[in-house]
Structure 1
Amino acid sequence: MPSIAVKICGLSTEPTLDAALDAGADLVGFVHFAKSPRHVSLERAGVLSRRAQGRAQRVVLLVDPNDALVTAAVVAIGLDMIQLHGQESPERVAEIRRLSGLPVMKAIGVATSADLAQVRAYAAFADRILLDAKPPKDAALPGGNGQSFDWGLITPGTLPDGWMLSGGLTPDTVADALMRTGATAVDVSSGVEVRPGQKDPAAIAAFIEAVRSR
């Protein structure tokens, strides 16, 4: 059975970052989006990123960033990948990839099968596709809302290699999600928190263990 890549997103403190690293997270994510309870400054993300260097891939989550922010993030943080979680077009994904010189992950919100039709256009430019639950229309956040989408919409084998599943995953549901979707990578944020923005080290460890022991 192939190894499943695990990303713990929205990390903001040394103890929770260490919990993710010690449990064997493959990717760690830092959110730079002021509306999010998981928001960290570029400087803070840089401190955490240096702590994780050589132990996991380091990802910054940005939402519809302009060129100046992309450049500032690259300089300040020390990154392995940029995650785009806004309304960026496929062409904008390509521009950010060129500007940053880094691999780019593009999040796509899913509510219906029509949303999955976007995947092919983005996959031509993004290094990785992340499927997340489409946020409610009145939601302030483009992701991290603790909601899942209908996994039955996914037909195994029809998505680009390395696609990542997100949206409402928890230590109790991730094994079932993997079995039903055939995903080889998963991302969690709110599903390992005691409250929005506050990660639970024990839940992080339990999530990764649930993936590894499936």
Structure 2
Amino acid sequence: MRLPAKICGLSTPEAVEAAVRGGAGFLGFNFFPPSPRCVTPEAAARLAVPARAAGVRICAITVDAGDELVDRIAAILDPDFIQLHGAEPPARGAEVAARTGAGLIRALPVGGPEDLAAAAPWTELADHLLLDARPPRGAALTGGLGVAFDWTLTQGFRPPRPWFLAGGLDPWNIAEALEVSGAPMADVSSGVERGPGLKDPSLISAFLDAVRRARPQA
């Protein structure tokens, strides 16, 4: 059975191979140009081939993307999920779902308990929520910054569908993060990199091994 873990920001065949071999349940491809992890829909489609064959779900990470990019991603990559990681309102989420036929993952920034209230409009619309650390003021990126939030904030957080914990996770803290937060799923990007956007296959393997030990029932 595939692990409840998503490796995000993949851009090389070696990283995809490590994620698939390690048992990741989800792979994320980034389509936000300022990110060092950004790839084209064509490149993502090529990289996704072995993952699809292994039953891994494919996610497209977007940030306030317009219709043209959304349509290209849908036509070329045909992802299982579109992840909204910007300021998109629920109405835009419904539009994206209708245009693409893909499921939705809604990323929400968390800095304090008040931020969990922002999940309410999305709990029925999105297939999964993803709680990420709120970016520092002035940051150019909305995620993948290696910043964590207080994991105790999500204790007792029980949306209708399983949700991802993200932000500052790595092979050494993921077990504690899952235990403290109560998160049923995990998402990692910079925590398995040897440099900005450079995924390290050995770190991917170590992260997934740690998730497996923390979630033996998976």
| Pairwise CA distance, 1:95 | 1.1
| Pairwise CA distance, 1:4 | 5.2
Q: Does 1:18 align with 2:17?
A: yes
Q: Secondary structure at the match of 2:24?
A: coil
Distance in structure 2 (CA, Å) of the matches to 1:76 and 1:52: 16
Q: Does 1:39 align with 2:30?
A: no
Distance in structure 1 (CA, Å) of the matches to 2:137 and 2:111: 12
| Pairwise CA distance, 1:51 | 2.8
C-alpha deviations, 1:179-210, integer Å up to 9, x for none?
11111110000000001100111100000000
Q: Does 1:81 align with 2:81?
A: yes
Distance in structure 2 (CA, Å) of the matches to 1:157 and 1:62: 25
| Pairwise CA distance, 1:137 | 1.2
| Pairwise CA distance, 1:138 | 1.1
Q: Secondary structure at the match of 1:118?
A: helix
Q: Secondary structure at the match of 1:6?
A: strand
Correspondence list, 1:38-187, <5 A = 38-55=37-54, 56-187=56-187
| Matched residue, 1:207 | 207
Q: Is the 8 Å Cα contact of residues 31 and 40 (structure 1) preserved in structure 2?
A: yes
Q: Is the 8 Å Cα contact of residues 71 and 99 (structure 2) preserved in structure 1?
A: yes
Aligned pair in 2 of structure 1 residues 68, 168: CA closer, same or farther (>3 Å)?
A: same
Q: Is the 8 Å Cα contact of residues 127 and 161 (structure 2) preserved in structure 1?
A: no
Q: Is the 8 Å Cα contact of residues 4 and 184 (structure 1) preserved in structure 2?
A: no
Q: Is the 8 Å Cα contact of residues 81 and 105 (structure 1) preserved in structure 2?
A: yes
Q: Secondary structure at the match of 1:105?
A: strand
- One-letter amino acid matched to 2:69: L
Distance in structure 2 (CA, Å) of the matches to 1:61 and 1:19: 20
Q: Could you state the TM-score of these two structures normalised by the residue count of structure 1?
A: 0.96
Aligned length: 213
| Stretch moving more, 76-85 or 163-172 | 76-85
| Pairwise CA distance, 1:156 | 2.2
Q: Is the 8 Å Cα contact of residues 3 and 23 (structure 2) preserved in structure 1?
A: no
Identity %: 43
- One-letter amino acid matched to 1:61: I
Unpaired runs of 5+ in structure 2? none
**Deviating runs (4+, > 6 A) in structure 1?**
none
C-alpha deviations, 1:106-153, integer Å up to 9, x for none?
100000111110111111211110000010111110000000001111
Unpaired runs of 5+ in structure 1? none
Aligned pair in 2 of structure 1 residues 29, 150: CA closer, same or farther (>3 Å)?
A: same
C-alpha deviations, 1:49-100, integer Å up to 9, x for none?
2232132101110111112211110111131111110100011111111111
- One-letter amino acid matched to 2:20: L
Distance in structure 2 (CA, Å) of the matches to 1:52 and 1:158: 30
| Matched residue, 2:8 | 9
Q: Could you state the TM-score of these two structures normalised by the residue count of structure 2?
A: 0.94
| Pairwise CA distance, 1:157 | 4.5
